[in-house]
Amino acid sequence: MVPLQWDVRTGWPNAIESELREVAECYGHDYGWLKVGITGNPEIRRWAYKEWDLMVVLYQSASLEHVKDMEDRLINYLWDEAPFPVATCNNERGGGSLPDSPPYYLYVVWQVLIARATNRQTLTYGELAKAIGSRDE
């Protein structure tokens, strides 16, 4: 299961969008693969990301429309405007089910990428650990 951090903001999307972008930028410098999603229960949803390195809950609202709006805004920002090189924004729309009642949460999961100096392949921490472990056997 992925480590979970709570860095939650609440409020109207227009009022907090720039703050969410700044938080994503802080994490974005150290992580490569990322996915933005929404859920009704981050503690349960984190179990779907066993191969990822970090899950951060960024936004909470009683309005599903506000959370969906913030998801769209953050994905568009990360794809088109982020001032750091993002390896990929790996998003599936409608990937999880949501409860019928609030609260709803916006989260981002990240996976660290490590460049191999020898052949310029990119590995995640998990892949690197497996590769190192297999050499020792």
**DSSP symbols for the chain:** ---EEEEEE-S-HHHHHHHHHHHHHHHHTT--EEEEEEES-HHHHGGG-TT-SEEEEEEEES-HHHHHHHHHHHHHHHHHT-SS--SEE---TT-S---SSS-EEEEEEEE-EEE-TTT--EEEHHHHHHHHHHHH-
Q: Which residues of the chain have pLDDT under 50?
A: 116-120, 132, 134-137
Residue 105: per-residue pLDDT? 95
Residue 46: per-residue pLDDT? 92
Residue 64: per-residue pLDDT? 93
Residue 62: per-residue pLDDT? 96
* Count of domains forming the chain: 1
Range(s) of the domain holding residue 81: 4-136
Residue 137: per-residue pLDDT? 41
Residue 86: per-residue pLDDT? 53
Residue 100: per-residue pLDDT? 79
Residue 32: per-residue pLDDT? 65
